[in-house]
Amino acid sequence: MKFEKRNEGLYALDVCGYVCPHPQLYTKKALEKMKGGELLELVFDNASSGESIAAMCDSIGNEVVEKTTDSGKYTWKIRKIAA
Amino acid sequence: MEAVQEIEGVAKKNQVWAYVIVGFLTLLTMATYAVNEYYIYVAAYLWFGFVYGMCLQYGRFCFSSAFRDLFAVGVPRMAVGIMIAMVLFGAVSAFVTATGNSTFHPAPYGIHSVIAGFIFGVGMVLTGGCASGSLYKAGEGNATAMLVILSISVSQALFASVGGWTNNLVPYSWHQTAVARGLPASINAGDGWVDQYLAGYVWDQPVTRFSKLLELRNPFVASFVGDVLVGIVLPAAVLLIGVYLIWYRKGYLRKRAAARLPTAGLGVNLTGYWSMIVASKRTAIAGLALGIAAGLHMYVMKGLMLKFGVTNFGQLMQEMGITAGLSAKGTVFDPGYWYVTTQEAQWVGWVFNKLGADNMDNIYFGLENGLPNPLINPADWMSLALIGGAAVMALLSNEFKWKGTTRELAMWAIIGGALMGIGSRLGLGCNVGAFFVRVSQGDVSGWMFGSGMFVGAYVGVKFFNWWTERKMAKEMAAFEL
């Protein structure tokens, strides 16, 4: 698991290789620690986790602004809901 | 242009493999039937397993998620999905039961059901999937899931036959009752923790279904009003109200407010409740399909039993001249419906037996389920085909991916798998056998096991929250947030 700050307002979380519930747990924690309006670039490769992460973002109001898939690897850009 | 062709190339390869799997299972069915028509009995288990695998993968249908993701990330998707599936399964089963065609037998209920569910619940959070969930995820190419299956299999095979020092952990009353039961001497019921647990305690616990509790005379009314309405629909509807209020409502009202829609009143909340039920179409479709398939499975197995004039596949094996591995009663594991864990214990038990272990002197293998060759074990084919069905579905949507495991995940897989193995032996079933099926059949023990799973999952999530928080803190030490 890698969580790093790329720039001001841009973070990257890589949870490739993990199975449920780790990707969704780490994503939740990363977003909680970020400020409103900041962007998280998330990379994971567990399809089931995607369902939970999408639902979680929808419920809280974090916007998944971009989704790309490449041979089972998912890269999502999530913007945390503004405070 | 080249990138597009490359993507199409990947899809083509997946398609080929999907055909290979289906083709193999089809050939196997036809070839075995040509050898002996009794093999159709195994084929029935196989193809229903295949359907379960396809539906589970398509709907990302995971019982672990149902409990875990509620607590972990506030997502009720699977809790809803399971309720839908149980209602459908219940409705089909009620018809099957009312016409006298059910293969189901309710299980003894008691505090042990709750404890077993608790242990299983912790385990399934640690592993990331339930028993069937791990099978379908193995079908997606997930090595961690395969390790979970191995752990569930080995832990059960050991737990079911272990005696020695564990005998000291058995209350004397259990020992006395087990020994006095008059079981075959080869079983040696006074030796072995699980033997004494079953013959000395569980078998004396009460058994009932809601249809019996309500004492309704007409079989159709008893099944539909008792088992389905009182046993499934009402509790499910009430539980989902709780789920809505605790985990869904806030997000729903927030979205309504953002769209400048009213956010108060019963009508709004009823709409919200419905929105929660239909939030995931995939899950709902998978739930519907699974429920109906599970009900049909019972009907088909009963039909085959009637057709061949047997109550257990062991009898057909004997007629085919295959007696190796039969239990002392001449039976093998033949549940008559969707069930996982015992066949996993059996294939490992069979391997141990071949390696010289004396593991037929217990109730689980020796008296009830036998240790037949996995290749002739109908339930093992149900599990294998479940993996195959999930693989086919994953391949057709380009989701199949060989994924290795890590030291950390392997640790959770082994520990969690062992807890699931132990929990399922104590509860006489897993999330499917002890919860999903039993609730759907109106068996009182179903919700008891489920309530244990609920608490166990909560504990498991609390643990993982702590664990991931620690790891997050380590990562964040490198920068300021």
Q: How close B481 comes to chain A (CA, Å)? A: 7
CA distance B232 to chain A (A): 26
Tokens of B308: 């061949």
| Rounded Cα distance, B418 and B424, in Å | 10
φ/ψ of A76, rounded to 5, equals -120, 140
- d(CA B254, CA B288) in angstroms, rounded, equals 30
Q: Whole-model pTM? A: 0.93
* Beta bridge mates, A64: A78
**B478 and A4 in contact by Cβ < 8 A?**
yes
Residues of chain B found within 8 Å of residue A61, distances taken between Cβ atoms:
251, 254-255, 258
DSSP class of residue A82 equals: P
Q: What local confidence, expressed as pLDDT, does residue B9 receive?
A: 54
Contacts with B472 from chain A: Cβ below 8 Å: 3, 26, 29-30, 33
CA-based nearest residue in chain B for residue A11: B481
Q: How far apart are CA B180 and CA B194, in angstroms?
A: 16
CB of B465 within 8 Å of a chain A CB? The answer is: yes
Q: Of A41, A46, A82, A83, whose CA–CA distance to A64 is shortest?
A: A41
- Give which of B468, B469, B480 to mutate to test A binding, by max A Cβ within 10 Å: B468
pLDDT digits (tens, 9 = 90+) for A1-48: 999 999 999 999 999 999 999 999 999 999 999 999 999 999 999 888
Give me the tens of pLDDT residue by residue for chain B, a chain 481 residues long: 444 444 555 588 899 999 999 999 999 999 999 999 999 999 999 999 999 999 999 999 999 999 999 999 999 999 999 999 999 999 999 999 999 988 899 999 999 999 999 999 999 999 999 999 999 999 999 999 999 999 999 999 999 999 899 999 999 999 999 999 999 988 888 999 999 999 999 999 999 999 888 888 899 999 999 999 999 999 999 999 999 999 999 999 999 999 999 999 999 999 999 999 999 999 999 999 999 999 999 999 999 999 999 999 999 999 999 999 999 999 999 999 999 999 999 999 999 999 999 999 999 999 999 999 999 999 999 999 999 999 999 999 888 889 999 999 999 999 999 999 999 999 999 999 999 999 999 999 999 999 999 999 999 999 999 999 999 999 988 886 6
Hey, are the CB atoms on B60 and A61 less than 8 Å from each other? no
Which residue in A25, A48, A72 is closest to B401 by CB distance?
A72
Q: Is B380 left (phi over 0), alpha (psi -120 to 50) or beta?
A: alpha
User: Which of A18, A46, A56 is facing B73, going by the closest CB pair?
Assistant: A56
Residues 348-367 of B with CB under 8 A from A: none
Sheet strand arrangement including A39-44:
A2-7, A10-14, A39-44, A73-79, A63-70
**Residues of A belonging to the active site:** 20
ipTM of the prediction greater than 0.85, yes or no = yes
Contacts of B480 in chain A (CB under 8 A): 5
CA distance B136 to B386: 7
Interface of B with A in 253-282 (CB under 8 A): 254-255, 258, 279-280
Residue A29: list chain B partners with CB under 8 A.
Answer: 468-469, 472
DSSP, res B453 = H
Residues 6+ apart with CB under 8 A from B176: B200
Q: Who's near A14: CB < 8 A, 6+ residues apart?
A: A1, A2, A3, A43, A44
- Nearest residue on chain B to A23, judged by CA atoms? B468
The whole-angstrom separation of Cα B122 and Cα B459 is 6
Cβ distance B481 to A60 less than 8 Å, yes or no, reads: no
**Spatial CB neighbours of A30, under 8 Å, sequence gap ≥ 6:** A3, A11, A13, A40, A42, B472
Residue A35's closest chain B neighbor by CA?
B481
The tokens of B264 are what?
A: 């108060």
Residues of A in contact with B258 (CB under 8 A): 61
